[in-house]
Chains A and B, each alone.
Chain A
């Protein structure tokens, strides 16, 4: 193309005036990773607050019946499973600093393996404990309330079934698709580059 220089002139007219200043960029860098991991941090904070709340209630003598304490203990176990899993996951993201695409694909594949393990084992364990905990709690609070108690109990069961049968698989499918698409796309690009280089 004879007009490459002309194209370069046009290319350089792009407006770059609204890019952030270097100070703003440093500020953004300091908060960036935590914003990407906000969801995981939120789960940890909520799980810890819930556990603290449960502990306070469990040691309240007026409420201290066996079902109440069992419900509290199960819920705390479920919450702790979430705290540990999410803390590990955050640690993994913080440790990843490699910029080679091959390393990135390896990281994504490990993320996929972790996602499947979480879906099939960790999340199941956490949900079982939390569900039993919740049902024991609701039972303790509502068993004397007749019809209202039954309705509340049924609502709790419906909510848990919805979480198990709808929210859980839908979220898993969505996350799996996202990560699989990303791996597939990067692998295609890299294999095209490798083919071109032979």
Chain B
């Protein structure tokens, strides 16, 4: 697979995962760029022991976890407990709300939920994060519960 093809196929996904983790557009762009620079430099060394998507997502998630200075600036503002009923929220507002809910989760949970929302199979998520499939399934279940609680509190998606 050529770099251009890889980039076109995976860059939007990687950007969304980075955005889910860091909750900042500029920093997510930087992390996406760092990921594809690493992919470009190491593509010839890729040994096909795993799927290429697993390899790329692993690079991206490792980059996210290593981004120490950037992560300090994660927007983790507490959400107001009782939001007034919002008649018609725009897609953008819904997305911001989703990012803010994800930002309240722990570091690895943020990565896992981003991969879930990218529709990756649980086995691949387990391989990316380095957990067993069973534990990944348990974690995903717990994260969904946490998110569900947050959404219910704020009267979203009911």
- Residues of chain A touching chain B, judged by Cβ–Cβ distance below 8 Å, are 1, 3-4, 6-8, 10-14, 16, 18-20, 22, 25-26, 28-29, 32, 97, 99-101, 104, 178, 181-182, 185-186, 189, 192-193, 196-197
Contacts and interface: CB of A to CB of B under 8 A. Distances in A.
Q: Chain B's interface: helix, strand, loop or mixed, by majority? A: helix
B37 A101 contact: no
Q: Chain A's interface: helix, strand, loop or mixed, by majority? A: helix
Given A16-B12, A97-B45, A10 B98 contact: yes
A29 to B, nearest CB: 4
Given A7-B157, A26-B3, A97-B41, A1 B147 contact: yes
Contact of B151 (A3, A13, A185): A3
Interface of B: 3-4, 7-8, 11-12, 15-16, 19-20, 29, 32-34, 36-38, 40-42, 45, 58-59, 62, 65-66, 68-69, 91-92, 94-95, 98, 106-108, 116-119, 129-132, 135, 139, 144-145, 147-148, 151, 157
A25 B66 contact: no
B62 A29 contact: no
A26 B58 CA distance: 20
A22 B8 CA distance: 7
A29 B106 CA distance: 31
Given A10-B91, A22-B4, A182-B66, 10 more contacts: A4-B116, A4-B144, A6-B157, A11-B95, A11-B117, A13-B92, A25-B33, A99-B38, A100-B62, A196-B131
Contact of B117 (A8, A16, A101, A182): A8
Contact of B95 (A10, A178, A182): A10
A1 B148 contact: yes
Given A19-B11, A193-B129, A32 B66 contact: no
A32 B44 CA distance: 18
Contact of B16 (A16, A28, A97, A99): A16
Contacts of B65: 101, 186, 189
Given A11-B117, A26-B3, A28-B33, A16 B98 contact: no
B117 A181 contact: no
B23 to A, nearest CB: 11
Contacts of B66: 101, 104, 182, 186
